[in-house]
Amino acid sequence: MPFIIERNDITRMRVDAVVNAANNTLLGGGGVDGAIHRAAGRGLLEECRKLNGCRTGEAKATGGYMLPAKYVIHTVGPIWRGGGHGEEALLRSCYMNSLAVADGLGCESVAFPLISAGVYGYPKREAVRVASECIEAFLASHEMTVYLVIFDRTSFEISSELRGEIEEYIDEAYVSEHEDSERTYRNRMAAAKLTLKKADSASKKEKREGAGAFAAECVLYDACEAPAVGPFDLDESFSETLFRRIDESGMTDVECYKRANVDRKLFSKIKSDKNYRPSKPTAIAFAIALRLDMDGASDLIKRAGYAFSRSIKFDVIIEYFITHGIYDIYKINEALFAFDQTLLGQ
53 binds ligand APR, rule: CB under 6 A: no
Shortest distance (Å) from residue 253 CB to ligand APR = 35
HSE toward the beta carbon, residue 129, CA cutoff 13 A:
9
Task: Report, in Å, the least distance between residue 300 CB and ligand APR.
Answer: 36
Q: What is the DSSP string of 145-171?
A: EEEEEE-SGGG----HHHHHHHHHHHH
Nearer of residues 54 and 260 to ligand APR, judged by Cβ? 54
Least distance in Å: CB of 38 to ligand APR?
Answer: 9
Question: Per CB under 6 A, does 32 bind ligand APR?
Answer: yes
**Segment interacting with ligand APR (CB under 6 A) among 4-12, 99-107, 173-181, 185-193:** 4-12
- The residues with which 6 forms a beta bridge, in sequence order, are 149
- Residue from 4, 5, 17, 22 touching ligand APR (CB under 6 A): that is 22
Whole-angstrom distance, CA of residue 107 vs CA of residue 101: 9
Neighbours of 156 (CB within 10 A): 20
Q: Which is nearer to ligand APR, 10 or 262 (CB)?
A: 10
At 7 the three-state DSSP class reads: strand
**Residues in contact with 90: Cβ distance below 8 Å, sequence separation at least 6, in sequence order:** 56, 57, 77, 78
From CA 100, how far away is CA 134, in angstroms rounded?
A: 12
- What is each CA distance from 82 to 124, 130, 193, in whole angstroms? 13, 16, 70
Minimum distance, C-beta of residue 126 to ligand APR, in the bound complex (Å): 12
* DSSP symbol at 67: S
Instruction: Tell me: does residue 77 bind ligand APR (CB under 6 A).
Output: yes
The interface with ligand APR within residues 97-126 (CB under 6 A) comprises: 113-120
Residue closer to ligand APR by CB (options 3, 314) is 3
CB of 263 to ligand APR, least distance (A): 24
| Catalytic site includes residue 33 | yes
Q: Does 91 bind ligand APR (CB under 6 A)?
A: no
Q: Does 35 bind ligand APR (CB under 6 A)?
A: yes
151 sits near ligand APR (criterion: CB under 6 A): yes
Nearer Cβ to ligand APR (29/296): 29
Q: Write the DSSP symbol of residue 118.
A: S
Using the minimum distance from each CB to ligand APR, give the nearer residue, 127 or 144.
127
Tell me how far apart the alpha carbons of residues 282 and 63 are, in angstroms, rounded to a whole number: 35
Catalytic residue among 16, 33, 263, 315: 33
Residue 93 interacting with ligand APR (CB under 6 A): no
Q: Tell me how many degrees the CA angle 285-290-294 measures, rounded to the nearest 5.
A: 80
Cβ–Cβ under 8 Å, residues 115 and 95:
yes
CA 17 to chain centre: 23
Judged by the rule CB under 6 A, the positions of this chain that interact with ligand APR are: 9-11, 21-23, 29-35, 77, 113-120, 149, 151-152, 155
Q: Looking at the annotation, which residues are catalytic?
A: 33
